[in-house]
Amino acid sequence: MLRRLVVTGGATAAVLVVVAGPALAQEETATQQSLNITFFLLAMTLVFLMHPGFAMLEAGFTGSGNAANIMMKNMMVVALTFMTYFAVGWGLMYGETLGGVVGGDQFFLLGGYAGELSGNAMLSSEFMFDAVFAATAATIVSGAVAGRMNLWGFMILAAVITAFVYPLVGHWGWSANGWLSTIGFFDFAGSTIVHLVGGAAAFVAAAVLGPRPGKFGADGKPRLLAGHSAPLGVLGVFLLWMGWFGFNGGSVLNAEAAVGPVLVTTALAASAGGLTAAVISALRAGGKTDISMTGNGVLAGLVGITAGANVVAPYAAVLVGIAAGLLVSLAVPMVERMKVDDAVGAFSVHGLCGVLGTAWVGLFGTAEPTLGLFYGGGWTLLGIQLLGSLVVTAFVAAVTGVVCLVLKSLGLLRLDEGELQQGLDVAEHGMAGYPEGVLTGVGAGTNG
């Protein structure tokens, strides 16, 4: 009797599984999609928080006379990007490919995508996520040109980057049919596609724009223009670090187990970069650590791991952090010796460390199709990675150079010397960033 009950019960259960199976599977799929959407939007929110982080870092590590202008620039870049990426950028990046070079439809989210957008929240989530990435590429430039660039000239340059430059590079490397993607180029979350784009544009813009008043002495040697608020700058670093967990973690695109290892490599690289830069700065200055350089070391490590956060082992993440911390410590003074005034080291952090991180995949990638040189993958992937970074650098530099020269010819690139002495808060906005008498001491009265 007992055996019969067990058999009967088993048969009944089997029937229930057969009948309910499709319904349960459908419910599980819907639940997973809901989790993915929630995860993606939370990641987007973290990436959005990087923008106040950029603003705080840029303002804190430069003079007080430009603090409000810097906040205004960063606020306007985000607003501008949502409009330019909606109108043009998304279509150029993810529209139907034209020869692997550029997308050719979905502008203003029109065409077939519009219907899918209203019926599939994942697509709308992806638009939001990518839009804040686009804004990041432009915001990187803001730091390099702090303290002397015309606000509207900067907004024109930012519009070109977010509507045209970043989307084209993104199509090459992230669209399934982009020419870089088809030859095997790999950039998980944007060491090249986001950070090198911003870093290369930052270098060219700063070079064409010229230095802040007082940056170089009569002998041509660079001078320190002290920031006015180290605490504000460090808070910016923390916000960027936190936002990077969304930047890299969200690039997994789904709420799945692969997110965990990505966050581990991200944290390790940032930590190694910051510690390395702190030690180097202390060795240079008789034991006194440089706060801004340490912050740049953290960011350098983050940029360095972004291309390969999901394909390198934890030890390789530590190594790229150390390499990035060393690179940024050497590169910042090197750029100054070139007579380029990059106010926050944007090129060193985002440009050079973007190349480093992209190459790191070709060295330490652990599995096909991203098997690196040190894992028996040969030289091919490393060559492809370096080719991608080289082409992107040349393209971004050329476009940025042309735009800046046009702005210069129109009188929209640099403010005049009288306005620069006032500080951009007063010159551009008719107000001081801080009430009179609030700030005293080093950096308080400078407009650098």
Is the pLDDT confidence value at 107 over 70? yes
241: tokens are 């670090």
Within a domain: 205? yes
Within a domain: 141? yes
Residue 10: band (very low, low, confident or very high) from pLDDT cuts 50, 70, 90: very low
Beta pairing, strands 97-98 & 102-103: antiparallel
405: containing domain? 40-212+230-429
- Element at 97 (helix H, strand E): strand 97-98
Instruction: Give per-residue pLDDT as tens, 225-272.
Output: 999 999 999 999 999 999 999 999 999 998 889 999 999 999 999 999
If one compares 57 and 13, the residue with the highest pLDDT of the two is 57
Residue 358: band (very low, low, confident or very high) from pLDDT cuts 50, 70, 90: very high
Per-residue buried b or exposed e for 333-363, using 16+ beta carbons within 10 Å of the residue's own CB: eebbeeebbbbbbbbbbbbbbbbbbbbbbbb
- Element at 249 (helix H, strand E): helix 230-249
Mean pLDDT to the nearest integer, 126-135: 95
Percent share of the chain, pLDDT over 90: 83
Q: What is the Cα–Cα distance from 369 to 16, expressed in whole angstroms?
A: 43
Q: How many domains does the chain have?
A: 1
Cα torsion through 324, 325, 330, 335, rounded to 10: 70
Beta pairing, strands 366-367 & 102-103: unpaired
Query: What is the structure's pLDDT at 34?
Result: 85
Q: How many residues does the chain have?
A: 448
Instruction: Give per-residue pLDDT as tens, 168-210.
Output: 999 999 999 999 999 999 999 999 999 999 999 999 999 999 9
Is the pLDDT confidence value at 13 over 60? no
Within a domain: 383? yes
Query: What is the structure's pLDDT at 17?
Result: 40
Is the pLDDT confidence value at 15 over 60? no
Within a domain: 98? yes
Say which residues have a Cβ less than 8 Å from residue 259's Cβ, sequence separation at least 6: 39, 249, 252
Q: How far is CA 319 from the centre of its chain?
A: 20
Cβ contact 366:372 at 8 Å: yes
Percent share of the chain, pLDDT over 70: 89
Within a domain: 223? no
Token pair 């724009």 in the structure block, residue? 209
Within a domain: 33? no
Within a domain: 64? yes
216 three-state secondary structure: strand
Within a domain: 144? yes
Mean pLDDT to the nearest integer, 137-157: 98
Average pLDDT along the chain: 91
CATH of the domain at 307: 1.10.3430.10
Cα torsion through 149, 151, 153, 157, rounded to 10: 90
Instruction: Give per-residue pLDDT as tens, 366-390.
Output: 989 999 999 999 999 999 999 999 9
Instruction: Give per-residue pLDDT as tens, 408-438.
Output: 999 999 999 999 999 999 999 999 999 765 5
ω into 222 cis (within 30 of 0)? no
Cβ contact 439:203 at 8 Å: no
Query: What is the structure's pLDDT at 175?
Result: 96
